[in-house]
Amino acid sequence: MATVLLIEDDAESRRATAELFARDDWSILEAGDGEAGISLALKHLPDLILCDLLMPKASGFQVCRSIRQKLRLAKIIIISGRDYGVDRTSAIEAGADEYLVKPVCWENLREVIERVMPAPDGALQTGPLPQFVVPSTRVKFWGVRGSIPVPGSSTVGYGGNTSCVEVRADGEIIILDAGSGLRELGIALEEEFGDRPIRPTLLISHTHWDHIQGIPFFLPAYNQKNSLRVLGYEGARAGLATILASQMETSFFPVSLRDMPSAITIEELKEMEFSIGKVKVQARFLNHPGICVGYRLTTSNGSVAFLPDNEPYDLLKMSQAGPGKSDFAEARAYAADARSKLVEFLHGTDILIIDSQYTDEEYAQKVGWGHGSISSVVSLAIDAKVRKLFLFHHDPNHDDKAIDEIVEAARMLVMESGQPVEVEAAREGSEVWLGAKQTIH
Ligand SMILES: [Zn+2]
Ligand SMILES: [Zn+2]
């Protein structure tokens, strides 16, 4: 007897569907929300999953992705009240086999089931995929804060962990920066991969502590089955490997980098263009104290630029001009040139994640500290024709309300410009998909 799992928050309609399946001799499992559906699916391995699109706790898209990571051949049919083409495409990209629009009559459903189910007995193959394979590029924020972790009730909305962003693209797991957000990412990876090896690539922007402090707490580094590749540029005073090892010296931490059981290779980059599998990476030195690099990843589903710490040149250069130094005209010309090169580097990026630590008022007091301001990143995104801008490296003094206000201010600036740039503040735990064209919070 084949098993069907019905995931639907409307109890009445779930019961009606269950009756139809019961008459056709199916064994039936029921879940009233997305999360319950995911856990039932992973526990009971049903042959067929019928899933509503809009539900509490996890949408049909999220259900598809979570289930697809573990169950390859269970068939998933999304049933939605909406008939938008983009919903259909997104559902299929998330792993659904079919997308049907309500109301669905039993005859139609039977026909679809016969088409998607492997004949004759719906033989189910389960088990982990050899590699994480999704048809889209996924960006997930694990740490969005600058300078120092700030947990607490006033930052719970956007999150208190420092810089760490995960990119899944073309079969690769690329981790941008290893701030305190890396800890939770490590736990999630171990949970997802189980006994399978995890082989992520960590791309480090620079070695300021808020960008590397998660490494000692990265769970996959403590498991022999895994191999980590760490890439970055030489620091101002020491090599990358030396700096990463030094934060784990006995005075600071009980386990040395050398003693972590996974295979860890640290490669100091020399070139500004290289590849991680099929993902093309371009690097660019940023305006930040010491050596700091921004990355632009080109994946088969779009591009992601990550500039976690960067100060605009405009005011900085002007403040450095004056008697006995460079003159104002020279300073202005230098700033304009540096900015236009950055615009070129970012041109047409789908997702830009960039240092927007300060409001314009705060920045005026903090020129030379190495961080960005709202109007400067918005104008950069507009000039570079970026599709979606994520404000990042939030100031530790900014609570959720302050960040909400910053997002509003940034959106006003975009509106005034008349350009189609979407603006969000990066939020811990949120994901954005390229290819599926949707954001999930
Ligand atoms: Zn930083
Ligand atoms: Zn920094």
Task: Please choose, from the candidates 37, 2, 43, 40, the residue with its C-alpha nearest in 3D space to the C-alpha of residue 22.
Answer: 2
Instruction: Give yes or no for a contact between 190 and 198, defined as CB atoms under 8 angstroms apart.
Output: yes
SS3 assignment, position 440: strand
Distance CA 355, CA 308 (A): 5
pLDDT for position 438: 40
**Cα–ligand 2 centroid distance for 308 (angstroms):** 8
In 223-262, where does DSSP find H-type helix? 240-246
> Which-ligand-closest: CA of 357?
1
**Cα–ligand 2 centroid distance for 304 (angstroms):** 20
Range 137-440 has CATH code 3.60.15.10: yes
> Is residue 118 reached through a cis peptide bond, with omega within 30 degrees of 0 on the bond before it?
no
Task: Please choose, from the candidates 167, 100, 87, the residue with its C-alpha nearest in 3D space to the C-alpha of residue 134.
Answer: 167
**Cα–ligand 1 centroid distance for 51 (angstroms):** 42
**Cα–ligand 1 centroid distance for 147 (angstroms):** 5
Instruction: Give yes or no for a contact between 305 and 294, defined as CB atoms under 8 angstroms apart.
Output: yes
**Cα–ligand 1 centroid distance for 420 (angstroms):** 29
**Cα–ligand 1 centroid distance for 231 (angstroms):** 17
Distance CA 412, CA 406 (A): 10
pLDDT for position 119: 56
Residue 11, token pair as written in the block: 């109890």
pLDDT for position 343: 97
**Cα–ligand 2 centroid distance for 84 (angstroms):** 43
**Cα–ligand 1 centroid distance for 413 (angstroms):** 25
What superfamily does domain 3-116 belong to in CATH? Response regulator (3.40.50.2300)
- Stretches where the chain sits below pLDDT 50 are 120-134, 436-441
**Cα–ligand 1 centroid distance for 327 (angstroms):** 31
For residue 174, the cross-strand partners are 167, 201
> Which-ligand-closest: CA of 236?
2
Alpha carbon dihedral 437, 402, 361, 143, in 10-degree steps, equals: -60
SS3 assignment, position 19: helix
pLDDT for position 147: 96
Instruction: Give yes or no for a contact between 142 and 181, defined as CB atoms under 8 angstroms apart.
Output: yes
User: Which residues are CB-neighbours of 319 under 8 A, at least 6 positions away?
Assistant: 367, 368
Distance CA 395, CA 160 (A): 10
For the chain, what are the domain ranges? 3-116, 137-440
Distance CA 198, CA 171 (A): 12
pLDDT for position 437: 41
